[in-house]
């Protein structure tokens, strides 16, 4: 089949690992494992007779080794039943050949199996790929922030030149934002539900009224690395899914902001990009090295966020006890996460290619001596000069300002020798406050957080 989505086509090789969490084979395999773990608990608790040694062997084989042929058989059954979870049940009856096959899918509704399968897959992606990729991004930002912690860097507020900063501190800002969200992601827990057709364990209790079915559900959820949702309708409410989508969307938004800032800095020649061998930036302009990684990242993040917003809104809603409008939608979680994953990789590639140009930064800063108006008027406030802000505004706003003209203005003021000396020592490039030390705090926090 020819791929329709670029995630499976153009970017398929880079995202191949995500198939283990978001593909149809992954979902079918996860459903099989949920059914088998539930079956094992039923037998372990004595609700059904013990499995024979031959049955145990077939059970273990089915649990540990779900093959392409098994998937094909499930899909062949589904083509007849037109029901994906029922197809898994029938497949397991064939595969296990139990003397008491009635234990398979005992008392369950399809959503019991599906919500546990999906949540276990999402948990796997979060810990196996999403969090490690975020840590790579954080580590790279921390390294660059440390490397350029002391390099004076032009700032802009409202697009206009503003008080200087350092290149390292500005990158540390993004690292700090991602770090806060990373802590939430690392501690995130999905919920799982196993309680029958309307969430009341009714069928299970009808058959075994004395058994602690809530405890069994808690045990199964824990085996899958999930927390137990104790009160539901037929469907698990997916409120935790929505929080995961929103948390991912928050991370995406920080990275969009980073992409756009770096794009702008590159356009101002404050950063250069190392080109890859043979790379072409334009079909007609041979000089170009485009910020393509940051642009690709931004576009994929915006697409991811649009899907995540829909998923977050849609999947925690269900008419009364159950409707199936969510079923086809939740199959697109991998699309939303795939675009985000690709975008994070692209941003990381972009960070690996950029090189700060300290000389260009210095030239830009030196061209704006009026930036010293802020520290001068602040020092003059301490000296008791009447309305120094207005004094500096009249001298700088909309005018051609030089360092010499600023110093000439100060020379006529009645201020202390110490204040005069501090003002005379000011340079635009040196006016960065605590920027390096602030960067250090985040760099240390990132490295402590993501240390092996």
Q: Which CATH number goes with the domain that contains 184?
A: 1.20.200.10
CB-based contact 78:84 (threshold 8 Å): yes
At residue 234, the pLDDT reads 83
| pLDDT attached to residue 279 | 60
The reply to whether 352 and 417 lie within a common domain is no
pLDDT at residue 372 in the model: 93
Handedness of CA 125, 126, 127, 131 (dihedral sign): positive
216-260 pLDDT per residue, tens: 999 999 999 999 999 988 888 889 999 999 999 999 999 999 999
The number of domains in the chain is 3
| Catalytic choice (52, 267, 282, 416) | 282
Which whole-number Å values give the CA distances from 173 to 33, 65, 236, 238, in the listed order? 43, 46, 38, 32
Are residues 410 and 286 both part of a single domain?
A: no
Tens-place pLDDT, residues 317-348: 787 777 777 777 888 899 999 999 999 999 99
Hey, which bits of 231-299 come out as E strands? 271-273
The answer to whether position 157 is within a domain reads yes
Looking at the structure, tell me whether residues 311 and 410 fall in a common domain. no
| DSSP sequence for 24-67 | HHHHHHHHHHHHHHHHHHHHHTTSSPPPPHHHHHHHHHHHH---
Sign, CA torsion 231/233/235/237: negative
The answer to whether the CB of 294 falls within 8 A of the CB of 263 is yes
CA distance 31 to 404: 75
CA distances from 306 to 18, 281, 415 (A): 20, 29, 58
E strand or H helix that includes residue 236: none
**Domain with 407 in it:** 369-424
pLDDT of residue 321: 73
Indicate whether 69 and 142 sit together in one domain. no
> Do 198 and 346 reside in the same domain of the chain?
yes
Of the residues 105, 122, 151, the one at which a domain ends: 105
What CATH number is associated with residue 24?
Answer: 1.10.275.10
Claim to verify: residue 321 and residue 350 sit in the same structural domain: yes
Query: Does 433 fall in a domain?
Result: no
Give the start-end residues of each E strand in 191-295: 191-192, 227-228, 271-273
Structural domain includes residue 98: yes
DSSP secondary structure of 343-408: HHHHHHHHHHHEEE-HHHHHHHHHT-GGGGHHHHHHHHHHTT-SSHHHHHHHHHTTS---HHHHHH
Do 122 and 205 have their domain in common?
Answer: yes
Which residue matches tokens 């029958």? 196
Q: Is residue 284 part of a domain?
A: yes
Are 126 and 225 within 8 A, CB to CB? no
Residues 169 and 207 in one domain: yes
Query: Residues 203, 196: contact at Cβ < 8 Å?
Result: yes
Q: What is the per-residue pLDDT for 283? A: 41
Please report whether residue 234 resides in a domain: yes
Give the number of residues written for the chain: 452
What is the end-to-end Cα distance of the chain in Å, rounded?
41
Owner of token pair 């979870």: 85
Q: What is the pLDDT of residue 110?
A: 92
Domain's final residue, options 105, 125, 148: 105
Task: Say whether both 50 and 125 belong to one domain.
Answer: no
Reported as a single tens digit per residue, the pLDDT across 80-112 is 999 999 999 999 999 999 999 999 999 999 999
CATH number, position 380: 1.10.40.30
**Block mean pLDDT (10 aa), the chain, length 452:** 84 92 94 97 95 94 92 95 95 94 94 96 97 97 97 94 95 97 96 93 95 97 96 87 95 97 95 73 52 93 95 81 76 92 96 96 94 92 90 83 88 89 94 96 96 76
Give the H/E segment covering residue 416.
Answer: none
CA 383/CA 406 separation, integer angstroms: 17
Quick one: 25 and 148 in the same domain? Answer: no
Asked if the structure places residue 438 within a domain, the reply is no
Burial of 392 (0-12, 13-18, 19+ CB in 10 A): buried
Residue 341 is among the residues annotated as catalytic for this protein = no
What pLDDT, on the 0 to 100 scale, is given for residue 281?
A: 53
Partners of 166 in the β-ladder: 152
400 plus 286 within the same structural domain? no
Output b/e per residue, 400-417; b: 16+ Cβ within 10 A: ebeeeebbebbeeeebee
Residue 316 · residue 237 · CB < 8 Å: yes
Tell me, yes or no, whether 39 and 147 share the same domain: no
Domain annotation covers residue 183: yes
Q: Is the residue at 308 inside a domain?
A: yes
Q: Identify whether 282 is a catalytic site residue.
A: yes
Q: Domain end: 60, 83, 105, which one?
A: 105
Instruction: Quickly tell me which residue has 């899958």 as its tokens.
Output: 224
Task: Give me the residues paired with residue 165 across strands.
Answer: 153
Task: Report the distance separating Cα 373 and Cα 132, nearest Å.
Answer: 45
């Amino acid at each position: 089949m020819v791929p329709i989505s670029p995630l499976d086509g153009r970017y398929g090789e880079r995202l191949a690992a995500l198939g283990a969490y978001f593909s149809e084979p992954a979902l079918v395999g996860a459903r099989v494992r949920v059914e088998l773990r539930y079956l094992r608990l039923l037998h372990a608790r004595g609700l059904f007779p013990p499995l024979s040694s031959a049955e145990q062997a077939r059970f273990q084989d089915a649990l540990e080794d779900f093959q392409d042929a098994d998937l094909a058989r499930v899909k062949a059954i589904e083509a007849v039943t037109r029901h994906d979870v029922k197809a898994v049940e029938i497949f397991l009856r064939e595969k296990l050949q139990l003397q008491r096959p009635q234990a398979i899918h005992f008392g369950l509704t399809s959503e019991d199996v599906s919500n546990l399968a999906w949540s276990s897959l999402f948990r796997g992606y979060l810990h196996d790929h999403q969090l490690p990729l975020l840590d790579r991004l954080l580590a790279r930002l921390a390294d660059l922030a440390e490397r350029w912690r002391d390099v004076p860097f032009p700032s802009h507020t409202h697009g206009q030149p503003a008080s200087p900063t350092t290149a390292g501190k500005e990158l540390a800002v993004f690292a700090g934002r991602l770090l806060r969200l990373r802590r939430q992601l690392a501690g995130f827990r999905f919920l799982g539900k196993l309680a029958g057709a309307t969430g009341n364990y009714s069928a299970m209790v009808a058959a075994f009224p004395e058994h602690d079915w809530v405890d069994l559900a808690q045990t199964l959820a824990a085996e899958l690395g999930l927390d137990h949702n104790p009160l539901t309708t037929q469907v698990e409410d997916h409120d935790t899914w929505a929080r995961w989508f929103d948390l991912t969307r928050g991370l995406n938004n920080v990275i969009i902001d980073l992409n756009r800032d770096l794009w702008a800095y590159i356009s101002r020649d404050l950063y250069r990009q190392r080109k890859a061998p043979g790379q072409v930036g334009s079909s007609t302009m041979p000089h170009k090295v485009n910020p393509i990684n940051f642009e690709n990242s931004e576009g994929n993040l915006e697409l991811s966020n649009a899907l995540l917003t829909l998923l977050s809104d849609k999947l925690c809603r269900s008419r009364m006890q159950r409707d199936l409008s969510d079923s086809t939608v939740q199959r697109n979680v991998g699309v939303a996460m795939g675009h985000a994953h690709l975008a994070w990789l692209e941003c990381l590639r972009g960070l690996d290619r950029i090189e700060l140009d300290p000389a260009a930064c210095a030239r830009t800063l030196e061209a704006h001596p009026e930036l010293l108006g802020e520290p001068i008027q602040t020092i003059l406030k301490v000296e008791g000069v009447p309305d120094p802000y207005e004094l500096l505004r009249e001298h700088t706003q909309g005018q051609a300002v030089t360092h010499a003209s600023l110093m000439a203005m100060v020379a006529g003021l009645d201020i202390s020798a110490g204040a005069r000396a501090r003002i005379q020592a000011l340079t635009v490039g040196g006016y960065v406050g605590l920027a390096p030390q602030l960067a250090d705090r985040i760099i240390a926090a990132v490295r402590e957080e993501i240390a092996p």
